Amino acid sequence: MSDSPITAIAERPGRTLLRVRADLGNNMNVTNMGIVDYRMGQAIARGARRHGFNSITFNSAQNAVGTNTVIFDPSRVLEVSPW
């Protein structure tokens, strides 16, 4: 999930955008770490799950002011609607 349509389009150009409302649960915010690459993000996410976090928020590599959030359990998505 992205914090805005601009960030979502930057991350995945040409894809369909959906507005999602989700319960992030216990969120690990790593935006203070700067941009993390894919492998580092995967490692952080694995550690976060092992330590009881439900989601992780990190800086967008494609939009300097945007953030992305990954939730680990899809049942935490509460509502989906088109933009």
Tell me the per-residue pLDDT of 3-37, one tens digit each, with 9 for 90 and over.
999 999 998 888 889 999 999 999 999 999 988 88
User: Is residue 59, in this structure, part of any structural domain at all?
Assistant: yes
Residue 54 belongs to domain spanning: 5-12+23-76
Instruction: Please count the structural domains in the chain.
Output: 1
Tell me the per-residue pLDDT of 70-79, one tens digit each, with 9 for 90 and over.
999 999 999 9
Q: Give the integer Cα–Cα distance in Å for 22 and 31.
A: 19
User: Is residue 60, in this structure, part of any structural domain at all?
Assistant: yes
pTM value is 0.87
Q: Which residues touch 46 (CB under 8 Å, ≥6 apart)?
A: none
User: Is residue 18, in this structure, part of any structural domain at all?
Assistant: no
User: Is residue 82, in this structure, part of any structural domain at all?
Assistant: no
